[in-house]
Amino acid sequence: MPELPEVETIARYLRDGKDGVSLVGQRISTAEVLWERSVAEPRPAEFIGRLSGQIIVGVDRRAKFLVLHLSADSLLIHLRMSGDLRIEPERNESGQPRAFAVHDRVILHLESGWRLVFNDPRKFGRLWLVEDEVSVLGGLGPEPLAPGFSAEMLYDRLHRHSRKLKPLLLDQKVLAGMGNIYTDEALHLARLHPNQLSSLLTVVEVQRLWSAIRTVLEEGIRRNGASIDWVYRGGDFQNTFSVYQRTGLLCPVCGTVIERKVVGQRGTHFCPVCQPEPE
């Protein structure tokens, strides 16, 4: 499930290209919507009409959103659980039109003869075409890897609430980009229990958490994200997990058996010794 490092990896792929094909500078000829609910706004007919003719002038990431800056609008894409994007030629080697794959949902045809395909088996992903991206992204919390994001800022945000750390870190209004994997890994590295109440954290504990969050996210990006389940993106961060999906295996730090419990409706993995349960 794409989180900040995976989305960053995809953004770089779209921007810098792999086979020398980048989205930047390309003009959209038209679009196809194969599953209407994948388009959050506007209505599919307007979505297609407004996209046609626009030029992709830049590709960015904000939290877990991909942001395609177009000549007149912004196209925002959230991959949610199973979404993926690929760039491919419209025609195969023999010159025949390339067939769509199963679970392809939205297609942007490019004048260059290439196309951008949004594929999403579980249909949770969404696309927004908006004039002002603030209407969608406005409520997001700070980027944890931004240079200006300090431990003091995190302390302030944690102490504004009295919530369990796990659901708080997953809350995109508090901090943008963390998902289940990197939250579990960061809490383990920071030696904090997922049930720890945010308002009770000391300065030293917040400093540890701040550092841990940045460490796991940077390592995730360095490894091109994690490839888990049936979604393979070429990343290998999954090989360095300390706790995530390692229930019953041994903690790499202390050798204790990793436990799993549901916290805030999310499967949560932790080491009961490194991360002692608070009172």
Q: x/- site string to DNA, residues 107 to 136, per CB under 7 A?
A: --------------xxxx------------
CA distance 91 to 14: 19
Alpha-carbon Rg for the chain in angstroms: 20
> What residues does 276 pair with on adjacent strands?
none
Burial track 1-25 (b if 16+ CB lie within 10 A, e otherwise): bbbbbbbbbbbebbbeeeeeebbee
If the CB atoms of residues 3 and 73 are measured against DNA, the closer one turns out to be 3
Q: Is 261 exposed, middle or buried (0-12, 13-18, 19+ CB in 10 A)?
A: middle
Among 102, 239, 248, 279, binds DNA (CB under 7 A): 102
Q: Is 81 in the site for DNA (CB under 7 A)?
A: yes
Q: Is 258 in the site for DNA (CB under 7 A)?
A: no
Among 106, 181, 201, 209, binds DNA (CB under 7 A): 181
In the set 143, 219, 266, 272, the catalytic residue is: 266
Q: Is 261 in the site for DNA (CB under 7 A)?
A: no
If the CB atoms of residues 152 and 229 are measured against DNA, the closer one turns out to be 229
Looking only at the bridges linking them, the beta strands covering 84-89 and 104-110 are unpaired
In the set 62, 64, 166, 246, the catalytic residue is: 64
What strand order describes the sheet that includes 28-33? Answer: 28-33, 104-110, 114-119, 84-89
Q: Is 167 in the site for DNA (CB under 7 A)?
A: yes
In the set 2, 5, 144, 194, the catalytic residue is: 2
Among 94, 202, 239, 265, binds DNA (CB under 7 A): 265
Active site residues: 2-3, 64, 266
